[in-house]
Structure 1
Amino acid sequence: MKSMNVTSVPAEYLRSVNEMPQGTVQEVSYKVGNYIHLSRQLVTDRGIDTSEAGRETVAGDPILKKCNVYLPAGYDPNDTTVRYNVLYLLHGVGGDQYEWLSSNGKADGRFIICNIFDNLIVNGDIDPLIVVFPNGRSAYDWTDSSFNSEGTNMLGFYYFDYELRYDLIPFIESNYKTYADISDTSHEGIIYNRTRRAIAGLSMGGMQALNLILGGYRHDSTRITGTESPWNNGLDKTVITPGMIDLFDYVGAFSNAPTSSDGKTLGASLTSCVHNLHLLYTTSGDADEVAIGSYIKSIDGLIHQSGNHLNHFYQILIKDGFHDFHVWNNGAYNFSRLIFRNCDDHVRSHVVRKIL
């Protein structure tokens, strides 16, 4: 792979690659046994303690959810000699498993995000990889994309970590040719597998990447918490999440939403984990009135608080950038070029601040 610097997405990378074949996208269904029920309880098939979940946990029937999966050109399910790294890309509050695809638009008749990955692979910037586009609402009404602070669909965003750990990742790694194998729970297996998974998200998905993976707060409706919302959006924090650094070595947050936890909270969670985080990539547009405040808050104090538990920390500000796919495509482009590179693990607390 080529050496790289953080840059804007080359214009030609938004276009379709000339070479054939190209990557493909398939929508697939999978069972979810960990989700928010109509009663706002956490349905789970695992021994999750109510104090950790911040709510009552109950048994219940699994639901069927859908996600989209990008498979690189040449992916052959029958070829047992080739394996792939996996990147999970999370959507925003009003989006779903199609936001990175459909809402991002097309060029030359193909989804722009797929063109970006096709070009990255064809030009040798990255190794071929699998990209998963989940629906980030772990709730019985996961297809409801409305913004309703009292809705269980909204609450589901803050409980996606259980679905990710116990349902989606096992599904992906048992049905696709991935390097990672979550069924290998040996010490060596955990260390290896986390270097083969990456996760990033835009807006609400960026919040999820920070709060659920690094270890920030869950949120619920102020009608339930009985408190005031610091953001005047009807939401307030409840309990802190256990984090998922044992599963992911690379995390990206693009224009992370207002309910993102602050840098000191996230950094403190990192220090409590036995694993170092190899890469944290954060970005926002400087003209983004939705996320610039939460972007600044979430990076402030993080590197100091995390100590030697964070190897590489990128803080990328997009000049004249708004809350849109110009910023998010830049995030996906640069983040994907930085992940799955562990040749310099001896470096500690390396910070890159840049304006594009």
Structure 2
Amino acid sequence: MKTMKLKLILLFVCCNAFLLKASQVDTVFVESESMSKSIANIVILPDSYASQKESFPVLYLLHGAGGNHTDWISKVPAIKEYADQYNMIIVCPDGNATSWYFDSPVDEKMRYETYLSKELTGSIDKTYNTTATKSGRAITGLSMGGHGAFYLAFKHQDIWGAAGSMSGGLDIRPFPKNWDLSKRLGDYSEYKENWENNTVINLVYKLSGDSLKLIFDCGVDDFFYDANKRLHEKLMERNIPHDYTERPGGHSWNYWTNSLKYHLLFFSDYFNQ
């Protein structure tokens, strides 16, 4: 009987220790004045958030086309453990299924560049104990979100100090009929300038030295592989430091689940430098 009681006590202690040491997941709605609507975001707080006095770095993690703010937490639930492991806040915004994370020049209702770079980051910094400088912010994402992360970070280097892309659509021009891009930029044949001005590979000129820490990768079987390889070559030509990896794999959650581990380590090193 004593042995059984001891086992039950140990089980109770272990269970409570587990519950106490677990990240907190919130769904936070942020009002976007630029789009006149409330937008949902997943916010993951590390287990140390309640007790730590020092501010926390924030990683913004973007979903791909057809997805929403719940994609990462539902497809890769381990991100809750990563928030604990790396002691960072992780924010997964809803970027609309096909916003591509820019301010559309043809649709005034699509202003996701303004939302991410001003409204959301400002709200997160006001609501949580964050390191509210570029040294405490990083951004990455998959596919459309990889494009979005680089697009936003290249254009707003005062907001984000590090950026990543997983299987990112880093040159959207070869896909004029895909993923509602023509709804966001206009038909390529008529609005070519919109496409040229809003594709990541054409924004390299905004980079200088290592002012923005970069990591990106793509599977060799991915339809975005060629664009990623070309961006890598362009950065090499211009002596822009970056981490670039090619590995086996296609456009899949198996690939992104693995890829995220490398990005988190990279950002953790950046935050702790």
Q: Which bracket does the TM-score occupy, shorter chain normalised? A: 0.7 to 0.9
For 1:163, the equivalent position in structure 2 comes to: 115
Distance (Å, rounded) in 2 between the aligned partners of 1:259 and 1:334: 25
Residues 176-204 of structure 1: CA deviation (Å, up to 9, x unaligned): 01011xxxxxxxxxxxx111100001000
For 1:254, the equivalent position in structure 2 comes to: 166
Task: State the shift of 1:211 in Å.
Answer: 2.2
Task: State the shift of 1:336 in Å.
Answer: 1.3
Task: State the shift of 1:344 in Å.
Answer: 11
Residues 201-257 of structure 1: CA deviation (Å, up to 9, x unaligned): 10000011122321xxxxxxxxxxxxxxxxxxxxxxxxxxxx011111110000012
Q: Is the 8 A contact 1:249 1:279 kept in 2?
A: yes
For 1:304, the equivalent position in structure 2 comes to: 237
Task: State the shift of 1:303 in Å.
Answer: 3.1
**Who wins on radius of gyration, i.e. which is larger?**
2
Describe the SS at the equivalent of 2:269. coil
Structure with more helix by fraction:
2
Structure with more strand by fraction:
1
For 2:205, the equivalent position in structure 1 comes to: 268
TM, length-normalised to structure 2? 0.73
Residues 11-57 of structure 1: CA deviation (Å, up to 9, x unaligned): xxxxxxx954211211011110123xxxxxxxxxxxxxxxxxxxxxx
For 2:148, the equivalent position in structure 1 comes to: 208
Distance (Å, rounded) in 1 between the aligned partners of 2:272 and 2:44: 29
Q: Residue type of the partner of 1:291?
A: F
TM, length-normalised to structure 1? 0.57
Aligned pairs for 1:58-73 (under 5 A) are 62-73=36-47
Describe the SS at the equivalent of 2:159. coil
1:97 and 2:73 aligned: no
Task: State the shift of 1:156 in Å.
Answer: 8.4
What stretches of structure 2 of length at least 5 have no aligned partner?
1-16, 174-198
Distance (Å, rounded) in 1 between the aligned partners of 2:138 and 2:60: 6
Distance (Å, rounded) in 2 between the aligned partners of 1:330 and 1:67: 23
Aligned pairs for 1:175-190 (under 5 A) are 175-180=127-132
Question: What is the count of residue pairs matched by the alignment?
Answer: 226
- Identity, % of aligned pairs? 24
Query: What RMSD, in angstroms, separates the aligned Cα atoms of the two structures?
Result: 3.0
Residues 282-323 of structure 1: CA deviation (Å, up to 9, x unaligned): 1111112x3212222332312323x4xx4x41111122x111
For 1:131, the equivalent position in structure 2 comes to: 90
Task: State the shift of 1:69 in Å.
Answer: 0.3
1:114 and 2:114 aligned: no
What stretches of structure 1 of length at least 5 have no aligned partner?
1-17, 36-61, 106-110, 138-144, 181-192, 215-242, 346-356
For 1:280, the equivalent position in structure 2 comes to: 214
Distance (Å, rounded) in 2 between the aligned partners of 1:72 and 1:286: 34
Aligned pairs for 1:11-26 (under 5 A) are 19-20=18-19, 21-26=21-26
